[in-house]
Amino acid sequence: MNIHLAFTSENTRFEKIPTRIFDTSIDASITVAREIAGLIRAKAQKNEQCVLGLATGSTPTSVYGELVRLHQEEGLSFQNVVTFNLDEYYPMQPNALQSYVRFMQEYLFEQVDILPENVHIPDGTVPKEKVAEFCAAYEAKIEACGGLDLQVLGIGRTGHIGFNEPGSGQQSRTRLITLDHITITDAASDFFGEENVPRKAITMGVGTILAARKVILMAWGEGKAAIIREAVEGAVSDHVPATYLQDHPDATVVLDRASAAELTRVKTPWLLGEIPWNHLLIKKAVIWLAMKLETPILKLTNRDYMDHGMGDIITEFDSAYNINIRVFNELQRTITGWPGGKPDADDSTRPERANPPQKRCIIFSPHPDDDVISMGGTFIRLVDQGHEVHVAYQTSGNIAVFDDDVVRFVDFVNDFHKAFDLEKTVTSMMFDAVKRKVQEKQPGEVDAAEVQRIKGLIRRTEAKAGCRYVGIDDSRAHFLDLPFYETGKVKKKPLGAEDIRITVDLLNAIQPHQIYAAGDLSDPHGTHRVCLEAIFRAVEQLKQENTPWLKDCYIWLYRGAWQEWEIENVDMAVPLSPEELLRKRRAIFKHQSQKDRPLFPGHDSREFWQRAESRNSGTARLYDQLGLPEYEAIEAFKRYYF
Ligand code: F6R
């Protein structure tokens, strides 16, 4: 009932599937898990089985985590639960790292009391000629259990549900399909390279999913925002299979704020009717209007506002001129060539304080190259302007190094020892052993411990070279090697007390006036998200402890290689000259293991320096279009208040 009301209300009139937006994916996951638990309990009371359709991938992991907690702490039993998983790669051995059988065991089944005979997952080992028979039997089993009570879904960037890629029919049933190229790219990191991703998968069909009595589709993060808009507001089409859910009588879309960002009610709510305007919304709306009309802010007219659903702002501020000036001034004040504050200047409208004139700064870099990729220009300026700049490399980044680079480096050490007649035997034995381990490694297998170590060292020397190039001494490069990261796999451990202790200790040792951190939440492996969490938790602890230096510390968030802050969220914009941009590029070049072709490129095939430059010049262009000064490039930061 609630959902129905939300669905028909004014601000959701573009939404064709009932959609709920939560502050965070954790809040959303807890709600979904409780809904599932409620269903399991209700069925148990009636002595009935509860038939669940389950998904894998990064989206449902917190839901499974909460279900496990409910089982362990609140006695939720899975004895009456029967499960059918959506899909499995084909071919796939059940014990392989990437298998969905293994995924489900690790995240849910082995931690609850479900009966093994009640678990069903498509079998990636069935011989090709038996696949069709297997699929028909899978469908028959679902039917024999009385059909799915609830199907849980994630969504791919292609709009796939299950592995029903674009082109899948509404009536399709469980079958073998070919994965879309985008899906293969997205899976590349799990398989240590695109070439190792299976080309096919067995998936329940769209028809199988739509036959479930209830469907919940979840999505988290900025990376899903565009496809969510299409799924929820677009026309039903086989180009985006998730749009088929619009025809389901009881489907709900559950989102966090980031994945909801492109929905009309979030992006341009003023187009839907009267809204309660606030400071940020006005800024967002004015920027949107100027961009849409390709007009500088100061040239927007009353008529422009009236014609675009923003007439009520005019009533409040009496003229376009007043609003324009206000937003323009605010944007202008974000621009500063003095990211560490301008000494002896009036700082009342500047992003940073003038005092102390020489600040201690820590740049937290989740991977060893994020410092220069994301804020290399600002890093250079801070050093040039005499601040004491430290970099804290949070993780070793060791999974992202190619195997042949390891052999090359060990070969160098071997030859180096030979050339100078040092401990020959030990290094040549090591060289042979490492070469053998690399050669014997199966695709998708985890590296041997010493290979992981060498990969970490390769990245460490690159980071140090980057620091030296920018102009800071090795002693200011701190390698934290946070333990949560050190699994040798894409799947990491949860953040632990040791990760926080290491971060707190460094902060206390340096007592910074400025902390720069990656506020980028959509890197494909979630490492940035966890690294940010580590900083927030460390700062929270220091706050609880009433740490004196913290009162004089600003936190600035930069965004990683994947995207930039929206202009309305920028609190500090640091312009870069063409020369500074070139220096930034050269600092990025020091990360040779990531050059030409990184091991984990994500969904953008350009090199990191190209992405960084196009993003920084893109921001400069946006400022220019809005009528602000024209710069070569701009790095953008958002202040985090704690
Ligand atoms: C997984 C599945 C897929 C995923 C989708 C999103 O069983 O069928 O449809 O739900 O690819 O994946 P994540 O959650 O990893 O973004």
Residue 57 alpha carbon, nearest atom of ligand 1: 15
Give residue-wise pLDDT tens across range 155-183: 999 999 999 999 999 999 999 999 999 89
Co-location of 444 and 301 in the same domain: no
* Annotation says 165 is catalytic: yes
Q: What is the pLDDT of residue 608?
A: 87
Q: Which mutation among 84, 160, 224, 256 tests ligand 1's pocket best, with the greatest number of atoms within 8 A of CB?
A: 160
Co-location of 318 and 365 in the same domain: no
> Are the beta carbons of 308 and 289 closer than 8 angstroms?
yes
Average pLDDT over residues 259-287: 92
Q: Which mutation among 25, 59, 191 tests ligand 1's pocket best, with the greatest number of atoms within 8 A of CB?
A: 59
Secondary structure of 95-143 in HEC code, one letter for each residue: CCCCCHHHHHHHHCHHHCCCCHHHEECCCCCCCHHHHHHHHHHHHHHHH
Q: What is the pLDDT of residue 247?
A: 97
Helices 279-293 and 320-332 cross at an angle (nearest 10°) of: 100
Does some domain include residue 132?
yes
Co-location of 254 and 285 in the same domain: no
Co-location of 251 and 285 in the same domain: no
Residues above pLDDT 90, as percent of the chain: 74
Pocket lining: 221 vs ligand 1, CB cutoff 6 Å? no
CA of 272 to the centre of ligand 1 (A): 32
Pocket lining: 88 vs ligand 1, CB cutoff 6 Å? no
CA of 283 to the centre of ligand 1 (A): 35
- Partners of 518 in beta bridges: 558
CA of 167 to the centre of ligand 1 (A): 17
Q: Which mutation among 153, 177, 208, 529 tests ligand 1's pocket best, with the greatest number of atoms within 8 A of CB?
A: 153
Does some domain include residue 14?
no
DSSP 445-489: PPPPHHHHHHHHHHHHHHHHHHHHHHT--GGGEEE---GGGTTSS
Does some domain include residue 31?
yes
CA of 528 to the centre of ligand 1 (A): 20
More confident residue, 284 or 530: 284
Residue located nearest, by CA, to atom 11 of ligand 1: 156
Domain termination site, one of 215, 240, 265 = 265
Domain termination site, one of 316, 334, 352 = 334
Pocket lining: 165 vs ligand 1, CB cutoff 6 Å? no
Residue 59 alpha carbon, nearest atom of ligand 1: 14
Pocket lining: 223 vs ligand 1, CB cutoff 6 Å? no
Pocket lining: 87 vs ligand 1, CB cutoff 6 Å? yes
The yes-or-no verdict on residue 2 having pLDDT over 50 is: no
Q: What total number of domains does the chain contain?
A: 3
Average pLDDT over residues 59-78: 95
Distance CA 377, CA 561 (A): 14
CA of 560 to the centre of ligand 1 (A): 23
CA of 57 to the centre of ligand 1 (A): 5
CA of 218 to the centre of ligand 1 (A): 10
Residue 265 has which token pair? 């009610």
- Which band of pLDDT confidence, cut at 50, 70 and 90, is reported for residue 614? very high
> Are the beta carbons of 620 and 575 closer than 8 angstroms?
yes
Average pLDDT over residues 414-432: 77
Q: Say if residue 473 is exposed, middle or buried (CB neighbours under 10 Å; 0-12, 13-18, 19+).
A: exposed
- Which band of pLDDT confidence, cut at 50, 70 and 90, is reported for residue 82? very high
Q: In degrees, to the nearest 5, what angle opens at C-alpha 576 toward C-alphas 595 and 567?
A: 95
Residue located nearest, by CA, to atom 3 of ligand 1: 162
Q: What is the pLDDT of residue 113?
A: 98
Does some domain include residue 234?
yes
Distance CA 194, CA 190 (A): 9
User: Which one of 165, 352, 580, 635 is the catalytic residue?
Assistant: 165
Which residues, 6+ apart, have CB-to-CB distance to 231 below 8 Å? Answer: 17, 155, 159, 217, 240, 242, 243, 245, 253
Distance CA 2, CA 121 (A): 34
Helix (H, G, I), strand (E, B) or coil at 538: helix
Does some domain include residue 416?
no
Average pLDDT, the chain: 92
Residue 472 has which token pair? 């800071």
Average pLDDT over residues 593-599: 78
CA of 154 to the centre of ligand 1 (A): 5
Does some domain include residue 346?
no
Q: Domain span at residue 553?
A: 360-403+437-640
Pocket lining: 162 vs ligand 1, CB cutoff 6 Å? yes
Residue 360 has which token pair? 């201690």
Q: Which mutation among 85, 86, 174 tests ligand 1's pocket best, with the greatest number of atoms within 8 A of CB?
A: 86
Average pLDDT over residues 400-429: 82
Does some domain include residue 13?
no
Residue 461 maps to which CATH number?
3.40.50.10320
Average pLDDT over residues 276-285: 92
Average pLDDT over residues 262-289: 92
Backbone angles phi, psi at 215, to 5 degrees: -130, 135
Pocket lining: 59 vs ligand 1, CB cutoff 6 Å? yes
Give residue-wise pLDDT tens across range 241-272: 999 999 999 999 999 988 999 999 999 999 88
CA of 231 to the centre of ligand 1 (A): 15
The yes-or-no verdict on residue 321 having pLDDT over 90 is: yes
Co-location of 258 and 282 in the same domain: no
Pocket lining: 160 vs ligand 1, CB cutoff 6 Å? yes
Does some domain include residue 487?
yes
The alpha carbon of 3 is separated from its chain's Cα centroid by a whole number of angstroms, namely 28
Pocket lining: 159 vs ligand 1, CB cutoff 6 Å? no
User: Which pTM was predicted?
Assistant: 0.84
Distance CA 513, CA 466 (A): 23
CA of 223 to the centre of ligand 1 (A): 13
Q: What is the pLDDT of residue 562?
A: 64
Distance CA 141, CA 84 (A): 9
Co-location of 125 and 218 in the same domain: yes
More confident residue, 555 or 57: 555
Q: What is the pLDDT of residue 584?
A: 97
Q: What is the pLDDT of residue 471?
A: 97
Residue 190 maps to which CATH number?
3.40.50.1360
Pocket lining: 163 vs ligand 1, CB cutoff 6 Å? yes
Co-location of 194 and 249 in the same domain: yes
DSSP state of 19: E
> Is it true that the peptide bond before 91 is cis, omega within 30 degrees of 0?
yes
Co-location of 156 and 38 in the same domain: yes
Pocket lining: 154 vs ligand 1, CB cutoff 6 Å? yes
The number of helix segments (H) and strand segments (E) in the chain equals 21, 17
More confident residue, 234 or 430: 234
DSSP 166-223: TT--TT--SEEEEPPHHHHHHHTTTTTSGGGS-SEEEE--HHHHHTSS-EEEEE-SGG
The yes-or-no verdict on residue 359 having pLDDT over 80 is: yes
Residue 100 alpha carbon, nearest atom of ligand 1: 7
Distance CA 400, CA 368 (A): 10
Average pLDDT over residues 445-457: 88
The yes-or-no verdict on residue 336 having pLDDT over 60 is: yes
The yes-or-no verdict on residue 214 having pLDDT over 80 is: yes
Distance CA 587, CA 384 (A): 15
The yes-or-no verdict on residue 578 having pLDDT over 90 is: yes
Co-location of 254 and 284 in the same domain: no
Co-location of 95 and 172 in the same domain: yes
Co-location of 287 and 245 in the same domain: no
Distance CA 327, CA 305 (A): 14
Residue located nearest, by CA, to atom 10 of ligand 1: 154
Give residue-wise pLDDT tens across range 339-358: 999 999 999 999 999 999 99
Co-location of 544 and 600 in the same domain: yes
Give residue-wise pLDDT tens across range 468-481: 999 999 999 999 99
Taking the CA atoms of the chain, what radius of gyration do you get in angstroms?
27
The yes-or-no verdict on residue 19 having pLDDT over 70 is: yes
First to last CA, the chain: 38
Distance CA 297, CA 311 (A): 16
Residue located nearest, by CA, to atom 4 of ligand 1: 154
